[in-house]
Amino acid sequence: MDRLDNTVRPYAWGSTTAIPTLLGTEPTGEPQAEMWMGAHPGAPSRTGRGTLAEVVDADPEKELGAASVAKFGPRLPFLLKLLAAGAPLSLQVHPDLAQARAGHEDEERRGVPLDAPHRNYKDANHKPELVCALTEFDGLCGFRAPVETADLLDGLGVASLKPYVDLLRAHPEDAALREVLTAILTADPEEMSRTVAETAAACDRLGGAYAPYAGIAHHYPGDPGVLAAMLLNHVRLQPGEALFLGAGIPHAYLDGLGVEIMANSDNVLRCGLTPKHVDVPELLRIVRFEPGDPGILRPEASPDGEEVYDTPIDEFRLSRYVLPDGSGVHDLTLPTPQILLCTAGTVRTGEHALAPGRSVFVPAGEKTEVSGSGTLFRATVLA
């Protein structure tokens, strides 16, 4: 197995302290948003044999196993991350597999450069994702029931929100949500900026259920995404709880440290809270206008101590082991590739003693035993 040396991405929304605290290093004062573990070409992990991308490319069947290669191709199907949000991320959705393939093919045919600001589909893959909280973790996930959002907006006493309130009380619900989001994203920018400012001031004054949106507006003053965010369920995860984000589900992470895993894709359509391109027609085609509960996941324990976060896709499977002192040796051998990440204590596997934030790549079929006292996350695939 290979110890991984991983890249930390300095996105502006990142916490300056959360990842350094976990790693036991001194903060630099710069944001440290995401630590990537995997073979993504944007920042592949480094090993003693070269980058993990190079290792996999040299012998996919040996590293990934024949079943994974047959099902997903000669590449690691997932990307594992530590994600540390110190400010809200952009409000976004991801396409399903058919939409991603069609969108990528269309942009390739039209010759849209991969690095063009208005490019939507960087690849032909979908991007389902799962985030598991290591600290209290705030986010937005899926549409709240429209009548509940109508009551929330009405309670602000902002006159310019009245048309949205009326639309949200109409039926059917999916049409009401579509009309309101369309109206928000296509409104006159100056008028919208004034509405957002009035809304932010009211949220700040009232606090309570409005407090998260006051915080968002503080980071993105005048952004229509502030109103779009108010259409969504606000979720606060406790450590160990998780969210699964499937295709078409609008979401944003607001604050906290977590372990995130996703299919290996860069496809994002933004709804707001960003200076980047927002393709409104394409966004409206991809969003699923379905209100509902965000569905907080809690792990399901198996007899061997593995706690699995159950998701409906095969490109990744995330689980954790909470190992008490003296729990002995646990056999984690699998016929699929694995990345093992320690987030607490010290966990030994093979010749490696993993402290918090340290990780290893385990090729398919390699004998894998772990021991020690701490918390270990395991990322693999269902092949």
Catalytic hit among 270, 320, 358, 378? 270
Which residues are 319's β-sheet partners? 308, 378
* Cα 124 to Cα 136: distance, rounded to the nearest angstrom: 34
- Identity of the amino acid at 115: D
Which residues are CB-contacts of 233 (< 8 A; sequence separation ≥ 6)? 140, 141, 142, 143, 144, 293, 294
* Cα 360 to Cα 287: distance, rounded to the nearest angstrom: 36
CA angle 303, 344, 251 (to 5 degrees): 85
Q: Which residue has tokens 């579509």?
A: 178
* Cα 362 to Cα 368: distance, rounded to the nearest angstrom: 8
Whether the CB-CB separation of 344 and 302 falls below 8 Å is answered with no
* Cα 222 to Cα 206: distance, rounded to the nearest angstrom: 19
Does the active-site annotation cover 119?
no
3-state secondary structure of 249: coil
Q: Which residue has tokens 């990537």?
A: 36
Neighbours of 317 (CB within 10 A): 22
Cα first-last separation, the chain: 20
Instruction: Report helix angle 146-154 to 173-186, nearest 10.
Output: 50
Neighbours of 248 (CB within 10 A): 18
Q: Which helix (H) or strand (E) holds 19?
A: helix 18-23
Question: Which one, of 177, 176, 187, 253, lies nearest residue 223 by Cα?
Answer: 187
Instruction: Report helix angle 189-206 to 211-219, nearest 10.
Output: 140
Q: Which residues are identified as catalytic?
A: 270
